[in-house]
Amino acid sequence: MNNDLSGRTIVITGGTSGIGLATAKRFLQVGANVAICGRDKGRLKIAVADIRNMFGDENLLGVTCDVLDKQQIEIFVNSVVGRFGGVDTLVNNAGQARLSTFSTTDDDAWREELELKFFSIIYPSKGFQTYLEKSGSGSIVCVSSLLSRQPEPRLVATAAARAGQLNLIHSMAVELAPAIRVNSILIGVVESGQWQRRFEADKNSGNDYEAWVRKQAHDKGIPLGRFGQPEEAANAIYFLGTPMSSYTTGSTIDISGGYSKHVG
């Protein structure tokens, strides 16, 4: 299949680091137009500079945007369409995990977690829906978590919200077909700044981050014996976000190194 995506426009929320940033670079490698957003102006500036050094800025747009703010989403949509003329793929990547138990998660934390997991998909998807429908091969890819099917200790709020989010994604796939395909990837453990911060907070970790990560993977029982890399998740997003997966909707790709324990 032709891997030249010149003229195709990809929008990535939460595109300033980790999986989002790796995905932006993956699509730019094949000539696509890429628009990223993030709510932190400083991190966005760093990400745009990083990408620009590798690919230039002819096919790049970076916009400060909080995906939970409808007005900011509207501005982001108008900026993307004004720059590139349309949208072909939306990658909903904004989100984070909340460490808490059922006993320690207060009402506000529950509301915040549910709002983030749902509206970080709802607002961007509604905002870009018209343009995705006009694409002729519109695709939405949502970055979700293995937690949606496999709860973990001290992640009760995130796991519950992710489960509902996965149902939302599959419901969207039914409703938006055939004009827009909607799929997701389910992340197990992927290296990120969050893990670096946990390493730094672990007083017994020593000075070897790589050794510490390998131990974490071993203790978790990940069959492949390591954490995933953002680029590995980006490759799955690339597949789902392009015509390579033209007969795939309402599906998930498990990116967990075999950590998944559920069947189906």
pLDDT tens-digit map of 209-225: 888 988 989 998 999 99
With left for phi above 0 and alpha for psi between -120 and 50, is residue 85 left, alpha or beta? left
Categorize the per-residue pLDDT at 63 as very low, low, confident or very high, splitting at 50, 70 and 90.
very high
Q: How far is residue 89's CA from residue 47's CA, in Å, rounded to a whole number?
A: 20
Categorize the per-residue pLDDT at 3 as very low, low, confident or very high, splitting at 50, 70 and 90.
confident
Kindly state the DSSP code that residue 140 receives in the 8-state scheme.
Answer: E
pLDDT exceeds cutoff 60 at 2: no
Would you state the pLDDT for residue 264? 60
pLDDT exceeds cutoff 90 at 33: yes
Would you state the pLDDT for residue 257? 93
Across the chain, mean pLDDT equals: 93
Domain ranges of the chain: 9-189+229-255, 191-227
pLDDT tens-digit map of 119-130: 999 999 999 999
Would you state the pLDDT for residue 98? 83
pLDDT tens-digit map of 145-196: 999 998 888 889 999 999 999 999 999 999 999 999 999 999 998 987 777 8
Would you state the pLDDT for residue 130? 98
Q: Are 60 and 50 in contact (CB under 8 A)?
A: no
Burial of 264 (0-12, 13-18, 19+ CB in 10 A): exposed
* The two three-digit tokens of residue 118, written as one number: 């749902």
Q: CB within 8 A of 118, min separation 6: which ones?
A: 161, 164, 165, 168
Element (H, E) at 41: helix 41-55
pLDDT exceeds cutoff 90 at 58: yes
Categorize the per-residue pLDDT at 94 as very low, low, confident or very high, splitting at 50, 70 and 90.
confident
pLDDT exceeds cutoff 70 at 1: no
Would you state the pLDDT for residue 176? 98
Q: At the fourth CATH level, which superfamily is domain 9-189+229-255?
A: NAD(P)-binding Rossmann-like Domain (3.40.50.720)
Cis peptide before 243 (omega within 30 of 0): no
Categorize the per-residue pLDDT at 5 as very low, low, confident or very high, splitting at 50, 70 and 90.
very high
pLDDT exceeds cutoff 80 at 77: yes
